[in-house]
Amino acid sequence: VHNGLNLGTDVPLAADPRGPNSKPSVALIGVLIRFKGVYEFLEAARILVRERGVGAEFLIAGENARAQSGLKSKLLKLMGFSEDVESELARRIEEFGLHEHVHLLGFVSDIRSLYPRVDVLCFPSHLDAAGRPVFEAACFGIPSVVAIANPEPDAVVDGVTGLAICRPDPILLADALEKLIIDTPYRQQLGRQAQLWAAEHFSIAANARLVSDLYQRLVNASVERQG
């Protein structure tokens, strides 16, 4: 039984501000930490824009991990959590001449306002797993490219709800993103399938019923043993 996603409707979703001739957009969402694959994402953007001439917009939504002190600070530094990733990304964007193509959005307080602007979600984590943004994006009908070597059906269905790459390699990432950027019908098909998949696996009402049924079976089994 999965944790449900409650994206809610109390805050109206922002309308997509892009015009009809806008370029597809690819987003990376989350805390800016090295092991989230943020540098691989930027390098993939450079490959696509500068080497392959692929027209796309790249969005990075998030901020640096919060500063800590003492022993916790030392441990987080060893793990790469205290690095000023945001400033390094800004520096590399300028170095690569990507300021018109890659946009640092900072912290987005209501992520629901961002998803209408996104065509592909990218999750190139070094942890070999799919994170919450993958499931949120699926709810909005957005396919994902995820770095996961052996994807499980409840994480990402390769070629159905998105594309899986075996590791967060910039070239592998660029190859997968290029497929979804240039093939609009394929991207939209995966997005529709992702939305159906998310409704099946992450509906709060459906998952609550599964938990309730499980408890009921346990109670019934206990009563039968006592009887």
Tokens 């979804």 appear where?
Answer: 180
* Tokens linked to 212: 């309730």
SS3 of 68, please?
coil
**For the purposes of burial, counting CB atoms within 10 Å of the CB of 131, is it exposed (0-12), middle (13-18) or buried (19 or more)?**
middle
* Tokens linked to 84: 């000023």
- For residue 120, the cross-strand partners are 26
SS3 of 90, please?
helix
Residue 209 CB coordination number (10 Å): 12
Specify the pairing of strand 25-29 against strand 57-61: parallel
Chain center to CA of 6? 16
**For the purposes of burial, counting CB atoms within 10 Å of the CB of 78, is it exposed (0-12), middle (13-18) or buried (19 or more)?**
exposed
* Tokens linked to 56: 């796309």
Query: According to the model, what pLDDT value does residue 59 have?
Result: 98
* Tokens linked to 61: 């939504």
51: DSSP letter:
I
* Tokens linked to 174: 């660029």
Q: Which residues of the chain have pLDDT under 70?
A: 1-21, 67-82, 227
Q: What percent helix, strand, coil does the chain show, rounded to 5?
A: 45, 15, 40
Query: According to the model, what pLDDT value does residue 214 have?
Result: 84
- For residue 121, the cross-strand partners are 27, 144
pLDDT digit string, tens, across residues 19-45: 666 899 999 999 999 999 999 999 999
First to last CA, the chain: 30
Query: According to the model, what pLDDT value does residue 80 have?
Result: 54
148-177 burial string, b = 16+ CB within 10 Å, else e?
beebeeebbbbeebbbbbeebbbebbbbbb
Q: What is the largest CA-CA distance in the chain?
A: 75
Query: According to the model, what pLDDT value does residue 224 have?
Result: 80
Specify the pairing of strand 120-123 against strand 25-29: parallel
Write down the pTM of the prediction: 0.81
User: CA 98 to CA 75: how far, in whole Å?
Assistant: 33
Query: According to the model, what pLDDT value does residue 11 have?
Result: 42
